[in-house]
Amino acid sequence: MTAFDYRQGELHAEEVALSAIARQYGTPCYVYSRQAIESAWKAWDNALRDVPHMVCFAVKANSNLAVLNLLARLGAGFDIVSGGELERVLAAGGDPSRVVFSGLGKTADEMHRALEVGIHCFNVESAPELERLQQVAAELGVQAPVSLRVNPDVDAGTHPYISTGLKENKFGIDIVSAPAVYRRAADLPNIRVVGVDCHIGSQLTDDAPFIDALQRLLALIDQLAADGIRVEHLDLGGGLGVTYRDEQPPAPGDYLRKVSDMVAGRNLTLLFEPGRSIVANAGVLLTRVNLLKPTEHKNFAIIDAAMNDLIRPALYSAWMGIDAVRPRSDDAALDWDIVGPVCETGDFLGKDRRLALAEGDLLAVRSAGAYGFVMSSNYNTRGRAAEVMVDGGTTHLVRRRETVSELFAGESLLPEA
Ligand SMILES: Cc1ncc(COP(=O)(O)O)c(C=O)c1O
Ligand SMILES: N[C@@H](CCCC[NH3+])C(=O)O
Show the domains of the chain with their CATH numbers: 4-32+280-407 (2.40.37.10), 103-272 (3.20.20.10)
Q: Is the CB of 199 under 6 A from ligand 1?
A: yes
Q: 90-100 burial string, b = 16+ CB within 10 Å, else e?
A: bebebbbebbb
Report which protein residue has its CA nearest ligand 2's atom 1.
371
Mutate to test the pocket of ligand 1, among 44, 63, 78, 79 (most ligand atoms within 8 A of CB): 79
326 known member of a binding site: no
pLDDT band at 166 (very low <50, low <70, confident <90, very high): low
Q: What percent of the chain has pLDDT over 70?
A: 98
How far is 343 from 162, CA to CA, in rounded Å?
26
276 known member of a binding site: yes
Give residue 44's pLDDT: 97
User: Would you say residue 338 has pLDDT above 70?
Assistant: yes
> Comparing C-alpha atoms, which of 295, 241, 224, 232 is closest to residue 267?
232
pLDDT band at 163 (very low <50, low <70, confident <90, very high): low
312 known member of a binding site: yes
Mean pLDDT over 347-370 rounds to 98
- The ligand 2 atom nearest the CA atom of 371: 9
Cα 142 off chain centre by: 31
Give residue 72's pLDDT: 98
Q: Which ligand is nearest to the CA of 244?
A: 2
Give residue 174's pLDDT: 93
Residue 198: active-site member = no
pLDDT band at 372 (very low <50, low <70, confident <90, very high): very high
Q: Which ligand is nearest to the CA of 56?
A: 1
Q: What are residue 198's phi and psi, to 5 degrees?
A: -150, 160
ipTM above threshold 0.90: yes
pLDDT band at 261 (very low <50, low <70, confident <90, very high): very high
Give 45 Cα–ligand 1 centroid separation in angstroms: 17
